[in-house]
Amino acid sequence: MIGTLLERAARRTQAADLTFKSDETLTLGFDGGRLKSAGRLQERGVNLRVVAGGRMGFAGTTDTEPEPLLEMALASAAVGEEVQLELPRPQPLPQVTTHYPRAAVATLEELAQLGQGIHDRLTRDGCHIRVSVERSVGSVRVANTAGVDAGYDVSSVSLGAELVRIRGDDVLTIREYWAGGDLPGNADLEWLVGGILQRLQWAERTAESLHGALPVCFTPSGAEALLLPLHAALQGKALLHGVSPLMVRGRAITFASSFSLTDDPLLDGRPGSRPIDDEGVVSRRTSLVQQGNVQEFIYDLESAGRAGTQPTGHGRRTIFGKPQAAFSNLVVAPGEYSFPNLLGLISSGVLVDRLHGVGQGNLVSGTFANQIATAYRVEQGEVVGRIASGTVAGNAYELLGRITTLGQDAPWRGSTSVPAMLVEGVTVS
């Protein structure tokens, strides 16, 4: 079907490419002590892009009969922008493991045991536990009229756990999740469960809020407020439109020299791993920030064409949309401090684990002011209790410039690996 569609497209267009994706996901939900729901989601679809009359068009369908797809894409091209799109040519694929047979064939019973095990280990009096287990098996095929025809299989497993403790009108919520290509190992489960129980223990006591410009240790989940703006700011398209706040008067701003950020699609078994992107560009590592200096922005085919640069292999396609540049796996280089030693550097400060409303508001500007969801007070290097309320505010880019120390453990949460970060002079009110 794919070959025929591309052949028909080739006859009527200057260039065409397509991505075919299919997968089947099994989802198990545990709630209040046992398996509560089981669901299967089967999805497949084709996204076709054409260049006709110098203009780009695209279309998508989940119909088994993709017959109208070419006509839909041509109609889209008829009103599309003129574009210089250079399709990639075939190249050998780099080695990266994206499919783990053990995960792909795991039975419902095995996956249910996994979820029940996590659930049972978290169960405590006065706490409501929810756990989800998801396993997905699928394949991706990418082909174009320049001769690329590549495919790979994917497996993925993700675990989510939530503990809610309600005392009177006080609600404490602790969440964590894990995702990988293979079934989780003991260390992964230990990290997930241990992390939640550690936070619960920290929250056993409450502590008075602190105010002022303080040393703040962001946990990997707390650090989202600092890292999320970079997702938008490091887009080649933002640079092209002159709206990337990383460029001020033609020069890139710098961060703390301990801060390095890499996009790495070639790590075995991570959620964003792939040998080739959805536009047929083979994958490679991209150094985004090296020792505080911005190195590269990310480009898909179209933004690279407009910017007159090479695509970086970050094209991502859904079935219905237009290809967009998106990160694969983001890795913040870890530091040298164990977590207790990192906290030991704080005489009086705050450990921020989760903020409300991260990602709302004017993300790309980097400025944020978010209410604390879970945070803990640190005195003389020890967590002394949970801070019930308060606001953490600042500019993400400035704060990334004020990182003093990074933790040595950078756990994987989904497709990001981030260590704990100690930042000086964070406004807490």
Partner 1 sequence: MHNRLADAITSSRADYTEIRLERSWLTAVAYRGSRLEGANSSLDLGGFVRCMSRGYGWGAVSFNGLEHLDAMVARAHELSLAVRLDQPIRLAELPARRDDVRADLDGDVRGISLAEKQQLLDRLNQEMLAVDRRIVDTQAAYRDEVTEYWFANSDGTMLYELRPDVTLSAVALARDEGVVERGLESIGVRGGWRSVQECDQLFRTAARRAIQLLTAPRVRSGTYPVVLDPRLAGVLVHEAIGHMSEADVIADNAEARAMMTIGRRFGSELLTVGDDGSAAGLRGSLPYDDEGTPTQNTLLIQNGVLVGRLHSRETAARMSERPTGNARAVSFRHAPIVRLTNTYIANGRGTLDDLLKGIRFGVYCCDALGGQTHLENFSFTSGYGHMIRDGKLAELVKPIVLAGNLFKTLDRVDSVAGDFRWNQLGGGCGKGGQVPLPVAEGAPHIRLSEVAVGGGQ
Site residues, partner 1 (CB under 8 A)? 31-32, 34-45, 56-64, 68, 72-73, 75-76, 78-81, 108-109, 112, 128, 164, 166-167, 169, 171, 173, 241-243, 245, 248, 319-322, 356-357, 359-362, 364-365, 367-371, 373, 389, 391, 393, 429
Distance CA 386, CA 201 (A): 10
- C-beta of 62 vs 347, nearer to partner 1: 62
- C-beta of 200 vs 243, nearer to partner 1: 243
Residues 176, 195: contact at Cβ < 8 Å?
yes
- C-beta of 238 vs 343, nearer to partner 1: 238
Distance CA 387, CA 379 (A): 13
Quote the least distance from Cβ 196 to partner 1, whole Å.
16
User: If you write DSSP's letter for every residue of 82-150 in order, what string do you get?
Assistant: B----PPPP-PPPP-----HHHHH--HHHHHHHHHHHHHHH--TTEEEEEEEEEEEEEEEEEETTS-EE
Quote the least distance from Cβ 267 to partner 1, whole Å.
25
Distance CA 67, CA 104 (A): 32
Quote the least distance from Cβ 284 to partner 1, whole Å.
26
Closest residue by Cα to residue 176 from 194, 162, 190, 157: 162
Quote the least distance from Cβ 241 to partner 1, whole Å.
5
Residue with tokens 């085919």: 301
Quote the least distance from Cβ 360 to partner 1, whole Å.
4
- C-beta of 378 vs 428, nearer to partner 1: 428
Query: What sign has the CA pseudo-torsion 238, 246, 369, 217?
Result: positive
- C-beta of 76 vs 329, nearer to partner 1: 76
- C-beta of 158 vs 273, nearer to partner 1: 158
Quote the least distance from Cβ 46 to partner 1, whole Å.
10
- C-beta of 294 vs 342, nearer to partner 1: 294
Quote the least distance from Cβ 319 to partner 1, whole Å.
8
Distance CA 429, CA 9 (A): 59
Query: What sign has the CA pseudo-torsion 267, 268, 271, 272?
Result: positive
Distance CA 139, CA 93 (A): 16
Closest residue by Cα to residue 21 from 278, 209, 199, 248: 278
Residues 406, 422: contact at Cβ < 8 Å?
yes
Q: Are strands 416-417 and 412-413 parallel, antiparallel or unpaired?
A: antiparallel
- C-beta of 303 vs 405, nearer to partner 1: 303
Distance CA 259, CA 290 (A): 7
- C-beta of 355 vs 410, nearer to partner 1: 355
Quote the least distance from Cβ 405 to partner 1, whole Å.
27
Quote the least distance from Cβ 40 to partner 1, whole Å.
5
- C-beta of 62 vs 341, nearer to partner 1: 62
Residues 219, 332: contact at Cβ < 8 Å?
no
Quote the least distance from Cβ 333 to partner 1, whole Å.
28
Give start and end residues of each alpha helix (H) in 308-356: 339-344
57: how many CB neighbours lie within 10 A of its CB?
A: 25
Q: Which residues pair with 154 in a beta bridge?
A: 138
